[in-house]
Amino acid sequence: MYATQAEAEKAAKLHFNCSGAHRMGNQWMPCAQHGGGQGSSHSH
């Protein structure tokens, strides 16, 4: 979770092999879409 959209977008590119970011409560998470249609979420 990141405080800003910019931080989440940067992490998306560097660590998650995706682009964009999405809001989760009052913070941001990497990747434009949560999960990817594969059940729950952020598995690495």
Consecutive 10-residue averages of pLDDT for the chain (44 residues): 97 96 96 61 49
| Torsion, Cα of 28, 34, 40, 44 (10° steps) | -80
* pTM of the model as a whole: 0.71
SS3 13: helix
Task: Indicate the number of domains in the chain.
Answer: 1
Query: What pLDDT does 37 receive?
Result: 45
Query: What pLDDT does 14 receive?
Result: 96
Query: What pLDDT does 39 receive?
Result: 41
For residues 2 and 39, give the distance between their C-alpha atoms in angstroms, rounded to a whole number: 23
Residue 21, token pair as written in the block: 């970011």
Structural domain containing residue 3: 1-33
Q: Is residue 41 part of a domain?
A: no
For residues 23 and 5, give the distance between their C-alpha atoms in angstroms, rounded to a whole number: 8
